[in-house]
C-alpha cells in the first residue's frame, strides 16, 4: 500500500510577509516534530543564498530555483553567459574573448577587457561591461561573490539532474487545490489571525485524515 501524502507543517501569516523569510520557522517546527526532511523542494521565493546556507547548516538539501537574473527580462547579457573558473573569476566572455586581468576582493570580483576589442563586439549594447572612468583602455565587469555562486546554481538548474529532482514539487499544487476547494479554504469568512490560524490548521488536519482513510480503504 502506498503511504498517503501528508501535510507536516502549516504556517499562516499576513500577505504582506514574504514567504521566503519563513524557512527558519518551518525548519524549527519540523525539527521539534522530528520530521526534518532530507530534501526540501521550494519555489524561487526560497532560493536565496541565505536560505541555501541555512538549509546546508541544518543538513537539509534545499532544491529551489534561484530565479531569473533581472537583466534577462530586458534581453541583456548576464553573468550566466560568461565562463567562470572555480573561484568565480571570468575566464572568457560570451564571444570567447579572455579578460586582460581579473581580481577578487571581499565585496567585489572584477574582470577587465580590452576596450577597443569590446567596441567591435556585436553584443556591446547588451553587455554588462562598463568603460573605466579614468582609463580609456579597459572595459570592466564587476559583480559580487554571491552573484558568482548564484551563477553556478542557475546553470545547474538548466540540467537534467535538477529537473529530475524538482519535478516532484508539482505535487504540492494538487494539495493546495484540495485545501482550497475540497476543504473550502478559498471561501473562508473569518476575522482575526488567531481564528484564521486555527481554522487553517484544522482543515489541513482534515485533509490528512481524508487521505489516510483513502489509503486504508
**Would residue 93 count as lying in a domain?**
yes
3-state SS, 87-102, equals: CCCEEECCCCCCCCEE
**Would residue 146 count as lying in a domain?**
yes
**Would residue 60 count as lying in a domain?**
no
What DSSP line would sit under 56-69, residue for residue? HHTT-EEE------
Count Cα neighbours of 155 within 13 Å in the Cβ-side half-sphere.
Answer: 13
pLDDT value for 198: 94
- Which whole number is the average pLDDT over 160-164? 86
Nearest-angstrom CA–CA distance, 79 and 159: 17
pLDDT value for 71: 58
**Would residue 115 count as lying in a domain?**
yes
Asked if the model's pLDDT at residue 83 lies above 80, the reply is yes
Range of the domain at 110: 74-152
**Would residue 66 count as lying in a domain?**
no
CB count within 10 Å of CB 118 equals 19
**Would residue 130 count as lying in a domain?**
yes
Question: What's the pLDDT tens digit per position in 5-39?
Answer: 899 999 888 888 778 788 898 999 999 999 999 99
C-alpha cell at 184: 473550502
CA torsion 183-18-42-76 (nearest 10°) is 130
pLDDT value for 172: 86
CB count within 10 Å of CB 115 equals 17
Question: How far is the first Cα of the chain from the last one, in angstroms, to the nearest whole number?
Answer: 10
**Would residue 13 count as lying in a domain?**
no
pLDDT value for 68: 62
* Tally of structural domains, the chain: 1
**Would residue 138 count as lying in a domain?**
yes
Asked if the model's pLDDT at residue 55 lies above 70, the reply is yes
Amino acid at each position: 500500500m502506498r503511504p498517503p501524502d501528508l501535510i507536516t507543517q502549516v504556517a499562516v501569516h499576513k500577505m504582506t510577509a514574504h514567504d521566503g523569510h519563513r524557512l527558519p520557522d518551518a525548519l524549527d517546527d519540523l525539527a521539534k516534530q522530528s520530521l526534518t526532511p532530507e530534501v526540501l523542494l521550494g519555489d524561487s521565493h526560497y532560493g536565496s543564498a541565505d536560505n541555501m546556507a541555512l538549509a546546508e547548516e541544518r543538513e537539509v538539501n534545499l532544491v529551489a530555483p534561484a530565479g531569473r537574473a533581472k537583466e534577462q527580462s530586458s534581453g541583456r547579457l548576464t553573468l550566466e553567459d560568461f565562463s567562470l573558473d572555480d573561484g568565480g573569476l571570468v575566464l572568457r566572455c560570451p564571444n570567447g574573448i579572455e579578460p586582460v586581468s581579473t581580481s577578487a576582493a571581499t565585496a567585489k570580483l572584477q574582470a577587465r577587457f580590452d576596450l577597443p576589442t569590446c567596441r567591435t563586439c556585436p553584443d556591446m549594447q547588451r553587455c554588462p561591461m562598463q568603460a573605466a572612468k579614468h582609463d580609456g583602455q579597459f572595459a570592466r565587469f564587476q559583480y559580487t561573490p554571491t552573484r558568482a555562486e548564484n551563477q553556478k546554481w542557475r546553470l545547474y538548474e538548466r540540467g537534467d539532474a535538477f529537473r529530475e529532482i524538482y519535478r516532484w514539487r508539482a505535487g504540492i499544487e494538487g494539495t493546495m487545490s484540495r485545501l482550497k476547494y475540497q476543504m473550502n479554504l478559498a471561501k473562508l469568512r473569518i476575522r482575526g489571525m488567531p481564528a484564521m490560524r486555527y481554522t487553517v490548521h484544522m482543515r489541513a488536519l482534515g485533509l490528512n485524515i481524508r487521505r489516510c482513510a483513502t489509503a486504508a480503504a
